[in-house]
Amino acid sequence: MNLAYSILLIDDDKELCALIKQSIMREQIHSDCCYSGTDGLALLEKNDYQLILLDVMMPGMDGFQTMEKIRSKSSIPILMLTSKNDSMSKVQGLRSGADDYLTKPFDMEELIARIISLIRRYTRFSSSSNYSQSLTYKGLTIDVDSRSVTTQNGTFELPPKEFDLLLFCAKNQGRILTKQQIYEEVWGELYVYDDSNIMAIISRLRKKIEPDLGAPLYIQTVKGIGYRFNKEV
């Protein structure tokens, strides 16, 4: 069988790995399973994947440590799996570089939907589209085809959620976007009041593109409403 996409699953729960592998194969998605962060990093060096499922709680190198090493080399989408139900763990994951998270136990159909959504967002610009190839502002260029940005610090790729959020704001330059509008566009699902997701992604993004974190030039906060991409740049 020639499967359309390939993902890497890093989780020390072997039974869960086997169940996920079997479930996503029905969606024409291949998966490689490994049970430690070290083994996962080794597989990532050898193979091409469109997504990583990463468990937080693992012996030895935990999910946060593993993600830090992945993010030092790759912008591949990362969906974190966590048994912790506290908001601090979710925020830590998003601030560290995760694109999404799912709390165990989870519904398999929801997991599959999130996997497909992330893969589609990651790969949708690889073929021709109606989008302009690049958007240029003062000190910032957004390359749609390569999903990268160029700033005074050089050119670098952005993880999917960061890129999608930046592109959505930039394409609506000068317009105030509510948190609901941003969430439903970038996450592709109905908004449930949860500012931590958006705030974490914007915090990560600002650290990479803003010349002055104390006075953001590009993505500006509109207190009590949402955010706006500066119409003056």
Specify the pLDDT at position 205. Answer: 93
Omega within 30 of 0 (cis) for the link into 105: yes
At a CB cut-off of 8 Å and minimum separation 6, what does 71 contact?
78, 96, 97, 159
How many residues are listed for the chain in this entry?
233
Specify the pLDDT at position 160. Answer: 86
Specify the pLDDT at position 131. Answer: 42
Specify the pLDDT at position 84. Answer: 67
Residues of the chain with pLDDT under 70: 1-3, 84-87, 123-132, 193-195
One-letter amino acid at 192 equals: V
Specify the pLDDT at position 170. Answer: 92
Beta strands in the chain (DSSP E): 5-10, 29-34, 51-55, 78-82, 100-103, 134-137, 140-143, 148-151, 154-157, 176-178, 219-222, 226-229
Specify the pLDDT at position 219. Answer: 95
The backbone region for 55, taken as left when phi is positive above 0, alpha when psi lies in -120 to 50, beta otherwise, is beta
Specify the pLDDT at position 132. Answer: 47
Helix, strand, coil percentages, rounded to 5, for the chain: 40, 25, 40
Structure pTM?
Answer: 0.64
Specify the pLDDT at position 85. Answer: 65
At a CB cut-off of 8 Å and minimum separation 6, what does 184 contact?
190, 191
